[in-house]
Amino acid sequence: MRLNHFACAAALLAATAAALVPAPAQAQTKTLRFVPHADLKILDPGFTTAYISRNFGYMVYDTLFALDGNGKPQPQMVDSYTRSQDGLAWTFVLRPGLKFSDGKDVTAADAVASIERWAMRDPFGAALKNAGAQWAGIDAATFRLSLKRPFEMVLDALSKPSSFALVVLPQRLAQRPTTAPLSEVVGSGPYLFKRDEWVPGNKTVFVRNPGYVPRKEPPSGLAGSKQAHFDRIEWLYLPDSNSAVAALRRGEVDFIESLPADFIASMQTDPGMNLQSSGAYQGQLVMNHLHPPFDNPKVRQAVLQAVDQERFMAAIGYPPNMRMAHCATYFICGSPNETAAGAEPYRKADLARARQMLRDAGYKNEKVLLLVPSDVTYLNALALVMQQTMKSIGLNVEPVSMDWSSVTARRAKRNAPDAGGWSAYATVANEFSANSPIANIYLSAACGNTLPGWPCDQRLDALRAAWLYETAPARRRQLLDDFQRRAYETVPYVSLGQYQAASVARKELKGTDKLWAGIPNLWVLDK
């Protein structure tokens, strides 16, 4: 009996020991393990503005044009294009050999259907429509754009890298109703989505697309060759930052897309790690223009006068070299559209002047209901500093704490603040969602818009349209300045400053210098 017990115990120990011996590495599959900034929920980048769905789109789909490392549009699926002298007629020819993952050729009809689907949702698409855009296929590889008025930004629109990036789908999918997201994924991008290995909330797997035809040019930004050096890319969603950083240190993952501010200092001094900027972000205070007190532009100006951007950015927690003391432009400092027009009075926060402006505006102590998300650290920090700022100039502010999903639901309500509505909330936007009068959603919203906050100024609308359709560069610049000047007068929203988000990769990961503007163009990486 004792012998049996001993034998059992010995067998158990042996089995345990055998189990703990690491399994042999899988046969030569070069894998990149990437920790994305969020969990992938929606597989349709044309349906949601969530960046994670856009990033998914760049993995499995391709775009007609793409921005290079200098922010200039370059042909991607397009082989060549022509533009008529007057700018009203454009012809595009697709590269030969492009194939979808179902084996079918990519045709001009697919491109046209995809553009038409995109134009239903995207502000750029709407602007093109307003210019009388008509798209038509000519033959299998050629399609045409005709415009009623010149539109200088055709290529910028087709290559836009923000939410609703224009990816090319098969015609049969692009023509489906847009009331629900597409769940079928048929792309012609550098990677294929492995649906059978997808664990929502945990893991998304891609394998190299054997049918992908890369361009000849070297990779630059989102343009050029997408060589896809890895056989397999795994997106591992690790919601706990400590675990993600520990997994990176241990070598279980190679790259963390969004590094929380708390870990920046330790990663900067770790010789095995490569820390880099992952794009510029702008803090934003969105105010409800429908109800007092923020229906009054003078009250909005008073809040703008009180904002010390440095304080807001410090509260988010990024080190001084990753945040700006002050950024005067609405259109991202360091971007081609940076301008200081109209910003001079607000360059320095002045609480005494803000209090006076509030009195002059005729503020009647109306309640300001500030939505404070409790579950998103950096948004919580912005809201708390805003609460203090508003209080310090005499606004009757009442914070309402809730989770972010509740904020997103509440902000859609048009009711007065004391009837289930709201007055203000803080958020952030990536540089590509802020860097021009058309890309910046709170500045691109024309009167009659359904955007939370409902900003409306007809002069601003006229200036935006004039800028969009102007063709002379000097005049466009002038109109951009005029637009921002007017924005500083009517204050569609308040910029709370600009910071650089951080990502971190293990040193052995090659090509991280080619990562660009916070969009994970993972095809440039290698090991």
Stretch that binds another protein, among 74-82, 83-91, 249-257, 515-523 (CB under 8 A): 249-257
Encoded one letter per residue, x for contact with another protein by CB under 8 A and - for no contact, window 373-412 reads --x--------------------------xx-xx-xxxxx
8 A C-beta contact, residue 244 and residue 235: no
Q: Is 480 one of the binding residues for another protein (CB under 8 A)?
A: no
Rule CB under 8 A: choose which of 247, 303, 502, 524 binds another protein.
247
Stretch that binds another protein, among 39-47, 73-81, 261-269, 335-343 (CB under 8 A): 39-47
Instruction: Give the pair of three-digit tokens for residue 199.
Output: 């664990």
Q: Is 129 one of the binding residues for another protein (CB under 8 A)?
A: no
Encoded one letter per residue, x for contact with another protein by CB under 8 A and - for no contact, window 258-287 reads ------------------------------
Rule CB under 8 A: choose which of 201, 210, 271, 473 binds another protein.
201
Residue 321: CB minimum distance to another protein, A: 27
Rule CB under 8 A: choose which of 4, 22, 216, 365 binds another protein.
22
8 A C-beta contact, residue 163 and residue 3: no
Contacts of 149 (CB under 8 A, 6+ apart): 88, 131, 132, 469
State how far the Cα of 188 lies from the Cα of 235, in Å rounded to an integer: 19
Strands 424-430 and 367-373: parallel
**Residue list 439-468, contact with another protein (CB under 8 A):** 441, 449-452
Q: Is 37 one of the binding residues for another protein (CB under 8 A)?
A: no
Q: Which of 7, 501, 1, 470 is nearest to 256 (CA)?
A: 501
Residue 175: CB minimum distance to another protein, A: 17
Strands 31-35 and 232-236: parallel
Residue 72: CB minimum distance to another protein, A: 24
Q: At residue 516, what is the residue type? A: W
Which string of DSSP letters, residue by residue, matches 156-202? Answer: HHHT--SSS--B---HHHHTS-TTS--------SSEEE-GGG-BTTT
Q: What is the DSSP letter of 219?
A: P
Q: What is the DSSP letter of 22?
A: P
* C-beta closer to another protein: residue 196 or 513: 196
State how far the Cα of 43 lies from the Cα of 50, in Å rounded to an integer: 10
Residue 251: CB minimum distance to another protein, A: 9
Rule CB under 8 A: choose which of 11, 80, 129, 200 binds another protein.
200
Region label for 164, one of left (φ > 0), alpha (ψ between -120 and 50) or beta (otherwise)? left
**Backbone phi and psi for residue 501, each to the nearest 5 degrees, phi listed first:** -75, 165
Q: What is the DSSP letter of 39?
A: -
Instruction: Give the pair of three-digit tokens for residue 206.
Output: 């891609």
Q: By CB under 8 A, how many residues form the interface with another protein?
A: 61
Residue 374: CB minimum distance to another protein, A: 12
Q: At residue 397, what is the residue type? A: V
Encoded one letter per residue, x for contact with another protein by CB under 8 A and - for no contact, window 348-377 reads ---------------------------x--
State how far the Cα of 39 lies from the Cα of 311, in Å rounded to an integer: 30
Q: Is 180 one of the binding residues for another protein (CB under 8 A)?
A: yes
Instruction: Give the pair of three-digit tokens for residue 315.
Output: 């509260």
Q: At residue 501, what is the residue type? A: A
Torsion over CA: 389, 329, 467, 113 (sign): negative
Rule CB under 8 A: choose which of 53, 305, 329, 498 binds another protein.
53
Please identify which residue in the block is written with the tokens 């926060």: 349
Q: Is 60 one of the binding residues for another protein (CB under 8 A)?
A: no
Q: Is 176 one of the binding residues for another protein (CB under 8 A)?
A: no
Residue 457: CB minimum distance to another protein, A: 17
Residue 48: CB minimum distance to another protein, A: 4
Rule CB under 8 A: choose which of 97, 132, 239, 272 binds another protein.
239
8 A C-beta contact, residue 524 and residue 436: no
* C-beta closer to another protein: residue 252 or 526: 252
Q: Is 508 one of the binding residues for another protein (CB under 8 A)?
A: no
* C-beta closer to another protein: residue 226 or 411: 411
* C-beta closer to another protein: residue 52 or 322: 52
8 A C-beta contact, residue 520 and residue 226: no
Q: Is 194 one of the binding residues for another protein (CB under 8 A)?
A: no
Stretch that binds another protein, among 56-64, 70-78, 199-207, 364-372 (CB under 8 A): 199-207
**Backbone phi and psi for residue 277, each to the nearest 5 degrees, phi listed first:** -70, 145
**Backbone phi and psi for residue 449, each to the nearest 5 degrees, phi listed first:** -70, 165
Residue 216: CB minimum distance to another protein, A: 35
Stretch that binds another protein, among 37-45, 99-107, 125-133, 483-491 (CB under 8 A): 37-45
Please identify which residue in the block is written with the tokens 């163009």: 521
* C-beta closer to another protein: residue 425 or 516: 425
SS3 14: helix
Residues within the interface to another protein (CB under 8 A): 15-16, 18-23, 39, 41-43, 47-50, 53, 121, 163, 179-181, 183, 198-203, 236-240, 242-244, 246-247, 249-250, 252, 375, 402-403, 405-406, 408-412, 414, 427, 429, 433, 441, 449-452
